[in-house]
Amino acid sequence: MLEFFRAGGWVMFVVLLFGGLSLAAAIRFARTPRTETVGAVRALSTATIFAVIGGVAADLAMVFTKVPNHPEWSQSPQVGLIVLTGLGESLTPAILGFAFLAVAWLVTAVGARRLAAEA
């Protein structure tokens, strides 16, 4: 797990922060379902999505600038594998962020069910 987090770089902390906030807002909504609080879940989920997009973009930019700047990588017959490894690592913010969002919206669904039952 630590290697997965390390592969994504510093942007993983941003995704972790916004994903955690989204999940916390979803838990709050599920505990005390009110129509006014679901907006916070939506807003924080949107922030998480933008953090994911920014994180993947930053990681891709790193791959596309680092590989050409290292002659031992760019001139290697294994350059394709090096780039593929970098692309795989660049997707880790998306995996983390979307996993947070999946759980957050599952919890939100519980809150929505409770809200409907109270009405």
Q: Is the pLDDT of residue 119 over 80?
A: no
Nearest to 49 by CA among 10, 88, 19, 6: 19
**Tens digits of per-residue pLDDT, 38-79?**
999 999 999 999 999 999 999 999 999 999 998 898 888 999
- Say how far apart CA 113 and CA 29 lie, in whole Å: 11
Domain containing residue 49: 2-118
Tell me the whole-structure pTM to 2 decimals: 0.91
Q: Is the pLDDT of residue 35 over 80?
A: yes
**Tens digits of per-residue pLDDT, 74-116?**
888 999 999 999 999 999 999 999 999 999 999 999 999 999 9
How many domains does the chain fold into? Answer: 1
Q: Which stretches within 1-119 are classed as H helix? A: 2-8, 11-31, 38-69, 71-74, 79-90, 92-118
